[in-house]
Amino acid sequence: MPKATIRDINLDGKKVLVRVDYNVPLKDRKITDDTRIRETIPTINYLLGKKAKIILISHLGRPKGITPELRLDPLALRLSEILRKPVKKLDDCIGDEVEKYIENMRIEEIVLLENIRFYPQEEKNDLEFAKKLARLGEVYVNDAFGCAHRAHASTFGIANFLPAVAGFLMEKELKFLGMILENPARPFVTILGGAKVADKIKVIENLLKKVDALLIGGGMAYTFLNAEGFEIGKSLLDEKISLACEILKEVKQRNIKFKLPLDTVITEKLEEGYPSELVSIDRIPKNMIGADIGPKTIAEFSEILKTAQTIFWNGPLGVFEMPSFSKGTEEIAKIISTLSATTIVGGGDSVFSIKKLGLSDKFTHISTGGGASLEFLEGEKLPGVEVLKDLAEIRKI
């Protein structure tokens, strides 16, 4: 059943509580990547068009009580710069002073509450805390897909007390990730990288039922290669190699096109500037570490990707943070960016690579979800999504 969105409910002049995910990277209290803020602008602009009073809720980091360096002032400043409109940051998220300020808000005014995780009741999904939050608004909007896998007070509990609908970012995430699981245009190719098989075992198991081809790179590739009998030297080996063996069996049973690297860049130490060389995958010395996919692998993966109508990519294909071992990730990103397929990317490292290359606008959808994206693709129900009203329900309100 489709979830109701902000299009489906009367918002005119109302106080609207919006859960956003502004958990952005900071350095010296300066935002280094404002993507998560920018992604919420369509929702905010829509609410402004409805002359709503907008109350934003977010967390930042993992505070233990009130933590000055994790106050949300820089986020309010950046949002006001993007919108070219003042955004008032309040110094708390509940209490008499907050309620008094919000009671006197003007239409089209925006406030950002203080870091919701300053209160331990948030992560405990304390219903009394959720009720205090709910008193601030008349409608609840969740536009924080990246937090939707958490049953917290501001993502789950609050929906017990207010009509709860999705914002446009939440809607977009559900649309594209849901399409992967339900009805991808075929051929559907998934490319997975990253460190460990164990981290993505449930995603792999679920996608095996849906993909036409699965391409594996990154550290996890060496665990699969070891499971197939290759010498991998000192390359990363997942202690749960049995998981890789089980996947390989299922791949054969399902007759899926499953590709591992053909060649690899190896080095004795994972240090920038340390000597490296290119070898066939069956020529890794015992004292060497696999650090990136090689040109033959890039070529084979590229040919398969070019046949796809839907592509999902999660995880770098080498030690991408070191320029010497980033070529595989960068080349695959460039190739995918040229294709006419529906192209969806999830996972912070993959997204970082795409942004670094300036290719963000060449992909159909770049997920902000992180762990939520992976849990969704595992087939898990996300509490922050499940609690939102279905379209049929909201029409009765």
User: Which member of 36, 53, 172, 389 is catalytic?
Assistant: 36
Same fold, 6-169+381-394 and 186-340: yes
The pLDDT of residue 198 is 84
Q: Are strands 139-142 and 53-57 parallel, antiparallel or unpaired?
A: unpaired
Where in the chain are the domains? Answer: 6-169+381-394, 186-340
Q: Give percent above pLDDT 90 in the chain.
A: 83
Predicted TM-score (pTM) of the model is 0.90
Low-confidence ranges of the chain (pLDDT < 50): none
Which pLDDT value is given to residue 194?
87
Nearest Cα residue to 205 out of 181, 227, 222, 179? 181
First to last CA, the chain: 17
- Catalytic residue (choose from 38, 135, 196, 334): 196
Residue type, 209: K
Q: Which of 178, 202, 257, 348 is catalytic?
A: 348
Give the model's pLDDT for residue 1: 64
348 is catalytic: yes
Q: What is the pLDDT of residues 140-176, one digit of tens each?
A: 999 999 999 999 999 999 999 999 999 999 999 999 9
CATH fold label, 6-169+381-394: Rossmann fold (3.40.50)
Does the annotation count 36 as an active-site position?
A: yes
pLDDT for the residue 234: 96
Q: What is the pLDDT of residue 71?
A: 97
CATH class of segment(s) 186-340: alpha beta
Q: Please say if 78 is a catalytic residue.
A: no
**Does the annotation mark 371 as catalytic?**
yes
Q: In what order do the strands lie in the sheet with 263-267?
A: 276-280, 263-267, 289-293
Question: Any bridge partners for residue 263, and if so which?
Answer: 280
- pLDDT single digits (tens) 247-274: 999 998 888 899 999 999 999 999 988 9
